Amino acid sequence: MNMQASRLAPSPTGALHLGNARTFLVNWAIARKNGWTLCMRMEDLDGPRVKQGAVDECLQTLQWLGLDWDGPMLVQSNDQGPYLEAMEQLCSSGRVYPCDLSRSDIASVASAPQEGVHETPFPASLRPPTAGTPIPFDPAGENFRFMVEPGIREIDDHLLGSSRHDVHAVPGDFVVWTRRNAPAYQLAVVIDDARQGVTQVVRGEDLLPSAARQTLLYEALGLQPPEWWHLPLVLGEDGHRLAKRHGDTRVSSYRAHGIRPERIIGLLGHWCGLTTEPEEMTIEDFREGFEIDLLPSTPITMGREDDQWLRSG
């Protein structure tokens, strides 16, 4: 019996653009071709950034493209119990500690980030004297940080190969519970993947550093880490990750302008190596033609010609 499972995990902080859609489509195709269970999870814990109506729009967009999933959707904000239990376990084992330092406090003593790194590292010298000792979990409006010990963490990825990460250096002790009294992304993802039985994580390459941090949490909580699949990103013509500054690449916007899903899937299929030039295809055409070996190993650049092709159909 195939007990493998993956998940689609959108966040309702904005509409899905073509880069997001490509990642979800690849995730869906890998799962369906390998007979995995495919779960749906709505990652809606980033309170201030969650947009009204974004949940429904996200689901409608995925269904319009033809993607499906198995079982009911897990909505993070519906039940904080599993996150609280995890924090109690981490506190009782002395793996986390409360921290009321601001970003400016940290920046004033931290070394400059390495080139290409956009995080200010949290050095071990800023740990309180009580760090490492068991404590009761009492949020009380403070961040809680996970203690990262020195050492290199190696991540084996099905798409990108092996990579080495010094989590102790960057980001150092990272936040697992926020002063908003909610789990941070790293902890929430680990707990949710564990409770949904996820064994295969397929997502964008920008989250590769998170795999090393999440592996530390899996081990601290006595959980089995999943296998990793990190997909090279879709970039704008300026070489940066596809975003609003590159124009309106929202799938919902193309849909509103009368562009058919087969047109969008055709462009995404071209980006995934299925065709040498964009051509319309159905979701089933994509599933049947998809092969992992066809995926480009480097980022995709969305050019004006891609947008023009979509709108010419």
pLDDT of the residue at 115: 47
pLDDT of the residue at 214: 99
Closest CA to 97 of 58, 124, 119: 124
Same domain, 126 and 187: yes
Domain total in the chain? 2
Pairing of strands 5-8, 37-42: parallel
Same domain, 87 and 197: yes
CATH number at 16 reads: 3.40.50.620
Among 231, 250, 270, give the residue marking a domain's end.
Answer: 231
Same domain, 108 and 227: yes
Closest CA to 208 of 299, 289, 135: 299
Q: What angle do CA 282, 288, 293 make, to 5 degrees?
A: 120
pLDDT of the residue at 118: 65
pLDDT of the residue at 117: 52
E strands, 100-196, are 143-146, 153-157, 161-165, 174-178, 182-183
Same domain, 89 and 179: yes
Rounded distance between C-alpha atoms, residue 234 and residue 230, angstroms: 12
Same domain, 219 and 257: no
| pLDDT, averaged in runs of 10, over the chain (313 residues) | 89 92 98 98 88 91 98 96 98 97 84 58 94 94 96 98 97 97 97 98 98 99 98 94 85 96 98 98 98 97 96 89
Taking the CB of residue 282, how many other CB atoms lie within 10 A of it? 14
Same domain, 207 and 106: yes
Instruction: Give the global pTM.
Output: 0.94
Determine the structural domain holding residue 53 and report its residue range: 5-78+233-311
Same domain, 179 and 156: yes
Rounded distance between C-alpha atoms, residue 150 and residue 174, angstroms: 14
* Bond into 98 cis (ω within 30): no
Among 182, 210, 231, give the residue marking a domain's end.
Answer: 231
pLDDT of the residue at 111: 58
Same domain, 70 and 95: no
Same domain, 22 and 51: yes
Same domain, 162 and 218: yes
E strands, the chain, are 5-8, 37-42, 74-75, 96-99, 143-146, 153-157, 161-165, 174-178, 182-183, 200-204, 227-231, 234-235, 300-301
Same domain, 171 and 246: no
pLDDT of the residue at 258: 97
Among 231, 254, 270, give the residue marking a domain's end.
Answer: 231
Same domain, 184 and 260: no
